[in-house]
Chains A and B, each alone.
Chain A
Amino acid sequence: MNTKQKDIIDMINNDSNMSAKLKESFIKQVSQMNEDELEAFLKSMKKAKDNKNLQEKILRLQETEKNSHTDFLQTAYALLKKITTHKRKKQEESDKIKTNEILNKIKSS
């Protein structure tokens, strides 16, 4: 954890408005951030100040995250399916070879 993260976590801890549970959730998120994420986080907070319609902006960003997450899941699912299909095919091939071997043994006996 770098000093920026520590500073922010201190600020959260010193806040008197938020519930302890909410503080804990924020701290968990902030402590997991890497350098780039921390920068995105800070800039987004700084810019929020100039935003007249914060709720709308939050909704829009939530929507973007949601779509992007769905996109990830779809790709992950497709890849997982590919892996499973490949494994099944391999298994079928090896089963076939084994069956043929047994058949050949029966025939030749």
Chain B
Amino acid sequence: MQKEEKIGAQQIENGYESKKSSVETSPEQILKTLENNGNTEKESLNEITEKIKNSDPSFQQKTAESRILSSLGEKVKKNKLLRAALVGLSLYSANPAFASGAESELSKSETIESARPSHEKNLNMEQFGNLPESRQKDFEQIFASAPEEAKRIMLDELENGKGVDYKNASSNEDPDLLILQQQVVNLQNSGEMDLRRKGGVNLPFDEEHSGKTNGIEYSDNEIAENGGKQEITIENASENQIRSWINYLKSSSEK
């Protein structure tokens, strides 16, 4: 059994080593690397999930509380998006004629989306004041992908904004506020609060932001210290975090 585990760990280490090799831009090579990376992630995640399932209940509970496993799942989700974007670029580089095909497929989904009645109808961007157009688009995109409850909070904060006093949060208070405090400080330091996120990833196809991660990502230790919180996206943000985003957007539009 122990021998088996050593092999598993070795595989992961080997995978890590193999990733250090130099990059190639031929579509064949890119696809091969992407497939390998995807398979390694899938196999590792399966292996780890299986091992945890076979461990004793107290360890299972501890792992569930730390949310390390779900954070690992999120990482896979994010990497799959990055790989999908790379497949797109490679297909275009193999034959640029595909761009128009992509455009017509995308316009199909836009038609479906615009026909769908939802909170979008109630969203009034004027409430933001002079928000730059690119930011407006980001916001609209995030709003569209947000869960219903998050939409309700966003609209409420826009209309009746009371704000969140994260600046004065102390260690005795809501851990959400403390994380938020750190998050806002980090974002202010980086000069931008980037909402261009979906599933925890800065959308890779955006020229301006490709290769840049302004979003907050926590290491495993930080996740444990923060009571199991992981990367914050619109899907898992707390009410305070959502209200703070809206406030941040409002304050940045007044500048």
A interface with B by C-beta (< 8 Å): 4, 7-8, 11-12, 15, 17-18, 21-22, 25-26, 28-30, 32-34, 36-51, 54-55, 57-66, 68-81, 83-84, 86-88, 90
**A46 to nearest B CB, angstroms?**
5
Assess the B79–A65 pair: CB atoms within 8 A.
yes
Residue B120 at the A interface, CB < 8 A?
no
- Kindly list chain B residues whose C-beta atoms are within 8 Å of the C-beta of A8: 101-102, 105
Kindly supply a per-residue 1/0 record for chain B positions 215-231, scoring 1 wherever the CB is within 8 Å of any chain A CB and 0 otherwise: 00000100000000000
* B5 closest partner in A (C-beta): A84
Chain A interface SS verdict (over half): helix
Q: Is the CB of A62 within 8 A of B72?
A: no
User: For the complex, what is the distance from the CA of A40 to the CA of B79, rounded to whole Å?
Assistant: 12
Q: Within 8 Å CB of A72, what residues of B?
A: 41, 44, 72, 75-76, 79
Query: How far is A60 from B99 in the complex, measured between Cα atoms in Å?
Result: 20
B positions within 8 Å CB-CB of A: 1-2, 5-6, 8-9, 12-13, 15-16, 19, 23, 25, 27-28, 30-35, 37-38, 40-41, 44-45, 47-48, 51-52, 55-56, 59, 68-69, 71-72, 75-76, 78-99, 101-103, 105-106, 108-109, 198-199, 203-207, 210-211, 220
Nearest CB on A from B116, distance (A): 14
CA gap between A74 and B41 in the complex, in Å: 11
Selected contact of B79 from candidates A68, A78, A84, CB within 8 Å: A68
- For the complex formed, measure the closest distance between the CB of B39 and the CB atoms of chain A, giving whole angstroms: 11
Known A-B contacts A7-B101, A15-B95, A77-B9; A69 and B41 likewise in contact (beta carbons under 8 Å): yes
Of chain B, the residue at the smallest CB distance from A35 is B109
A64 contacts B55, C-beta separation under 8 Å:
no
The distance in angstroms between the C-alpha atoms of A90 and B75, with both chains bound, is: 30
Q: Find out whether the CB atom of A83 lies under 8 angstroms from the CB atom of B48.
A: yes
Q: Which residues of B contact A37 (CB under 8 A)?
A: 80-81, 83-84
